[in-house]
Amino acid sequence: MIVPRRTRFSRQVAADFLIYFGCWTLLGLFFATQNMLAYGYGGRPITFAQALELGLTEWYLWGIFALPILWFSRKLAVSGRFRWVAIGIHFVSSIVVAAIKMNLDLAVIRLITGAPPRSFSMLKLHVNVITYWVILGISEAIKYYRMYRDRELTAARLQSELVQAQLQALKTQIHPHFLFNTLHAISEMMHEDIEAADKTIAGLSELLRITLASAATQEVPLRDEMEFLGQYLDIQRTRFGDRLQVVLRIPPELLEIPVPNLILQPIVENAIQYAVAPRAAGGRIEISAAERNGSIVLKVRDNGPGLSGQAVSAHGLGLSNTRERLSCLYGQAARLELRDLPEGGVEAIVTIPTLHGSTALNDHGLK
């Protein structure tokens, strides 16, 4: 249920008043015992009710005086450009307020006890001056805290916008990369198989539709990522035919786990480029997913020549962008590794945290 803005404001005002009133009440209760002791030692004991009345009245008066002091402190900050002028004005103001407060206290004491205490003296003036500066100091501390908090929030927002812009830049680099490769493949097919080229164009159109639909999304369920990858592989099957063999090992229970959008396509494209395209016999690509130690592990295996035979692939644009995106989204909790397989070929391993996968973007304020 959405709470109207006016209602939220009213609740906030009520909460602030209760906190303000409660603080002065606690001070009045605390100093009520001091009043009993002071009058007792002065030979004129008073009841606890009188002491409580004196304490609460004294500090409720300070609660009233504090309001103009707080307002004054916002208008005349002691940390601004004219701080010495402000300090001088506050010094005079503190003496005036202290004198007024002292006379009010004296009138209250006479009203409640019938006579002023023997210990009442000009010392009360000094205490009131100190109280004025304590209230002023608390006001300045609150002001600095709010400024610090606002700067932290602004810094976090700017960092969030920077990360968002960086992620979008990386994604826009990936899109033209595979688009260029696909268009180049269509151009080659136009001279050999018009029907296959037409089918590939239709598949590319659907691929671009999915891409545009999720352009502003950084994380998608693994199910959506596999749907996109399926469209991409359909295009590649049209191009390579039986030369491209794909094996999927994706447990159904992992399909709803969030993963970075377009995380697998550059890796699969890299495998096709180096393990399938150059070989007349084609190649085999195996894509799998597993959950391990609070992370989802995505693997892309090929049976190509290995890293020694495709050195460029380990640092290509697609893989470099993939590493950058993982770093932006999850920091050191995610990684992309490439390694040679003993039986030949390359295995790309993407490790993505799942325990806080849904909040990884929140840490950057992107969701």
Are residues 92 and 172 located together in one domain of the fold?
A: no
Is the pLDDT assigned to residue 363 strictly greater than 50? no
Residues 208 and 90 both lie in one domain: no
Give the torsion sign (CA, 265, 271, 276, 277): positive
Proportion of the chain above pLDDT 70, given as a percent? 77
* pLDDT digit string, tens, across residues 107-135: 887 787 776 655 555 667 888 888 888 88
- In this structure, the answer to whether residues 337 and 236 fall within a common structural domain is yes
Portion of the chain with pLDDT greater than 90, in percent = 16
Reported pTM: 0.52
In this structure, are residues 334 and 352 in contact, taking their beta carbons and an 8 Å threshold?
A: yes
The answer as to whether 37 is a domain residue is yes
pLDDT at 362: 41
Alpha carbon distance 53, 175 (integer Å): 75
Within-domain flag for 220: yes
The CATH number assigned to the domain holding 342 equals 3.30.565.10
Q: 3-state DSSP call for residue 218?
A: coil
Residue type, 118: R
pLDDT tens, residue by residue, 154-168? 666 655 555 555 545
Could you tell me the residue range of the domain that residue 54 belongs to? Answer: 5-120
pLDDT at 250: 95
Do 112 and 163 belong together in one domain? no
CB atoms within 10 A of CB 38: 17
Question: Would 359 be classed as within a structural domain?
Answer: yes
Whether 142 is covered by a domain: the verdict is no
Number of structural domains (the chain) is 2
- Asked whether residue 91 falls in the same domain as residue 209, the answer is no
Please report which confidence band the pLDDT of residue 283 belongs to, taking 50, 70 and 90 as the band edges.
Answer: very high
Burial class from Cβ neighbours inside 10 Å (0-12, 13-18, 19+) for residue 46 reads: buried
Residues 47 and 189 placed together within one structural domain of the fold: no
Establish if 66 belongs to a structural domain. yes
Task: Mark which of 98, 120, 142 sits at the end of a domain.
Answer: 120
105 is a domain residue:
yes
Do 228 and 294 belong to one domain?
Answer: yes
Q: Is residue 131 part of a domain?
A: no
Tokens representing 162 are 């920077």
99 and 167, same domain (yes or no): no
- Answer yes or no: do 91 and 190 share one domain: no
115 and 183 in a single domain? The answer is no
- 90 burial level (CB within 10 Å; 0-12, 13-18, 19+): buried
In a domain, 38, yes or no: yes
Asked if the model's pLDDT at residue 327 lies above 50, the reply is yes
Give the residue with greater pLDDT, 231 vs 74. 231
